[in-house]
Structure 1
Amino acid sequence: MEVVEKGPGRRRLRGNPWFSLVAVAFGVIMVGLDATVVSIANPFIARGLHANLADLQWVTNGYLLVTAVLLIPAGKLGDRLGRRKIYLIGMAGFALASAGVGLSGSIGLVITFRAFQGAFGALIMPNTLAILRKTFPLEKLNTAIGVWGATSAIAIAGGPIVGGLLVQDVSWQSVFYLNVPVAIIGIIISVLVLHESRETDVESPDYPGIVTLAASLFLLVFGLIKTQTWGWADPKTLACFGGAIVAAGLFIFAEGKVTNPLVPLRIFASRALSMSTISVILNFFAFYGVIFFVSLYLQEVHGYTPIEAGVRLLPLTAMFVISAPLGAVLNHHFGPRFPVTIGMLLSAGGLWVLTSLEVSSNYLLLAIPFVILGLGVGFVLTATSDAIVGNAPSQDAGVAGGVQSTALQIGGVIGTSVLGSVLLDRVGSTLVGKLTHAGVPGALAPKILAAKPLVAEGAVPRIAHIPPALQLAITNGSHAAFLSGLHVAMVVAIAVSLLGAVTGFAIGNKRPSEDQESEMISD
Structure 2
Amino acid sequence: MTAQTTLDKVPPGPDPVPQKAGGLRGHPWLTLFAVAIGVMMVALDGTIVAIANPAIQHDLQATLADVQWITNGYLLALAVALITAGKLGDRFGHRQTFLIGIAGFAVSSAAIGFSQEIGLVIAFRVLQGLFGALLMPAALGLLRATFSAEKLNMAIGIWGMVIGASTAGGPIVGGLLVEHVSWQSVFFINVPVGIIALVFGLVVLRDHRAENAPRSFDIPGILLLSGAMGALVYGLIKAGESWGWGGVNTWLCVGGSVVLFLLFAFWETKAKEPLLPLAMFRSVPLSAGVVLMVLMAFAFMGGLFFVTFYLQGVHGLSPVDSGLHLLPLTGMMIISSPLAGLMITKFGPRVPLVGGMVCTATAMFGMSQLDAGTGTLTMSLWFGLLGLGLAPVMVGATEVIVGNAPLELSGVAGGLQQAGMQVGGALGTAVLGAVMSSRVNAEFAGNWKDAGIPAPPSPQLEQAAEFGMVPQELAKAPGMTPEGFKAISGVIHDTFVSGMGFAFTVAGGVAVVAALVALFTKRGANADAAGGGVHI
**TMscore range, shorter length:** 0.7 to 0.9
Structure 1 CA distance for aligned equivalents of residues 530 and 354 of structure 2: 29
| 1:458 and 2:467 aligned | yes
Q: Structure 2 unaligned segments of length 5 or more: list them.
A: 4-17, 532-536
Residue 240 of structure 2 is matched in structure 1 by 228
Alignment of 1:23-172 (within 5 A): 23-45=34-56, 55-132=66-143, 146-172=157-183
1:143–1:328 Cα contact (<8 Å) kept: no
- 1:263 is aligned, of 276, 279, 283, to 276
Q: Tell me, yes or no, if the aligned pair for 1:126 and 1:399 is still in contact at 8 Å.
A: no
Equivalent residue for 1:422?
A: 435
Matched residue, 1:367: 380
DSSP-derived class of the 1:203 partner: coil
Distance 1:115 1:275 in 2: 29
Q: Which residue of 2 aligns with 1:520?
A: none
Q: 175-184 or 43-52: which moved more? A: 43-52
Secondary structure in structure 2 of the residue aligned to 1:39: helix
Q: 2:400 aligns with which of 387, 390, 394?
A: 387
Q: 2:500 aligns with which of 477, 486, 489?
A: 486
- CA–CA distance in structure 1, aligned partners of residues 517 and 478 of structure 2: 50
1:521 aligns with none
Change (3 A) 1:204 1:497: same
After superposition, give the CA deviation of every residue in 1:348-395 in whole Å (9 maximum; x if it has no partner). Answer: 222233234332222111112222211211110111023324444555
Q: CA deviation at 1:293?
A: 1.8
Q: Distance in 2 between matches of 1:354 and 1:144?
A: 36
Q: Which moved more, 1:262-271 or 1:87-96?
A: 262-271
1:294-337 Cα deviation digits (max 9, x unpaired) = 22221122111111011110110222212222222222222221
Alpha-carbon contact 1:138-1:390 (below 8 Å) kept: no
Aligned to 2:212: 200
Question: CA, structure 1 residues 267+342, in 2 after alignment: closer, same or farther (shift >3 Å)?
Answer: same
Distance 2:432 2:391 in 1: 21
Match of 2:450 among 437, 441, 444: 437
Q: How does 1:292-441 map to 2 (within 5 A)?
A: 292-393=305-406, 395-396=408-409, 398-438=411-451
The CA deviation at 1:54 is 5.7
Check 1:194–1:241 CA distance in 2 against 1; reply closer, same or farther (3 A cut).
farther
Relative to structure 2, which stretch is displaced further, 183-192 or 504-513?
183-192
Provide the rounded CA distance (Å) in 2 between the counterparts of 1:307 and 1:505: 39
Q: 1:244 to 1:127 in 2, by over 3 A?
A: farther
- Match of 2:519, SS state, is helix
Rounded Cα–Cα distance in structure 2 between residues aligned with 1:486 and 1:50: 21
1:212 equivalent to 2:224? Answer: yes
For the aligned residues, what is the CA RMSD? 3.4
Equivalent-residue separation in structure 2 for 1:143 and 1:416 (angstroms): 34
2: CA distance between counterparts of 1:216 and 1:323? Answer: 36
Larger mean Cα displacement after TM superposition, 185-194 or 68-77: 185-194
- Tell me the secondary structure at the aligned position of residue 184 of structure 2: helix
Instruction: Provide the identity percentage.
Output: 45
Conserved in 1, the CA contact under 8 Å of 2:330 and 2:387?
Answer: yes
**What 5-or-longer segments of structure 1 have no aligned partner?**
518-523
Deviates more, 1:275-284 or 1:93-102: 93-102
Would the aligned equivalents of 1:85 and 1:196 in 2 still touch at CA under 8 Å?
A: no
Name the CA distance, whole Å, in 2 between partners of 1:134 and 1:282. Answer: 32
Cα distance, 1:349–1:235 mapped onto 2, change above 3 Å: same
CA distance in 2, matches of 1:323, 1:140: 23
Amino acid in structure 1 at the alignment position of 2:111: G
Q: Does the CA contact (< 8 Å) of 1:355 and 1:490 recur in 2?
A: yes
Aligned residues of 1:276 and 1:384 also touching (Cα < 8 A): yes
* Range with greater deviation from structure 2 (324-333 or 73-82): 73-82
- Partners of 1:339 and 1:134 lie apart in 2 by 31
The corresponding residue for 1:247 is: 260
Shift of 1:461: 6.2
CA separation of 1:137 and 1:479: change in aligned 2, threshold 3 A: farther
How many residues are paired up? 510
Q: 1:434 corresponds to which letter in structure 2?
A: N
2: CA distance, partners of 1:94 / 1:310: 24
Q: Give the C-alpha shift of residue 455 in structure 1.
A: 4.8
Any conservation in 2 of the 1:273–1:391 contact (CA below 8 Å)?
yes
Instruction: Give the counterpart letter for 1:202 in structure 2.
Output: P
Distance 2:56 2:398 in 1: 35
499 and 425 in structure 1: CA distance in 2 versus 1, 3 angstrom threshold:
same
Displacement of 1:275:
0.9
- Tell me the secondary structure at the aligned position of residue 357 of structure 1: coil
CA distance in 2, matches of 1:40, 1:354: 18
Quote the Cα distance in structure 2 between the aligned partners of 1:210 and 1:492: 31
Question: 1:434 and 1:333, CA in 2 relative to 1: closer, same or farther beyond 3 A?
Answer: same
CA deviation profile, 1:200-257 (whole Å, cap 9, x unmatched) = 1423222332222222222223223333323333222221221111111111111111
Give the CA deviation at 1:8: 3.3
AA of the residue aligned to 2:184: Q
| C-alpha distance in structure 2 between counterparts of 1:451 and 1:98, whole Å | 30
Equivalent in the alignment of 1:496: 510
C-alpha distance in structure 2 between counterparts of 1:466 and 1:421, whole Å: 34
**Counterpart check, 1:275 vs 2:288:** yes
Alpha-carbon spacing, 1:85–1:323, altered in 2? closer, same or farther (3 Å)? farther
1:459 maps to amino acid: G
Paired amino acid for 2:282: A
2:97–2:138 CA contact under 8 A, matched in 1: yes
TM-score, normalized by length of structure 1? Answer: 0.85
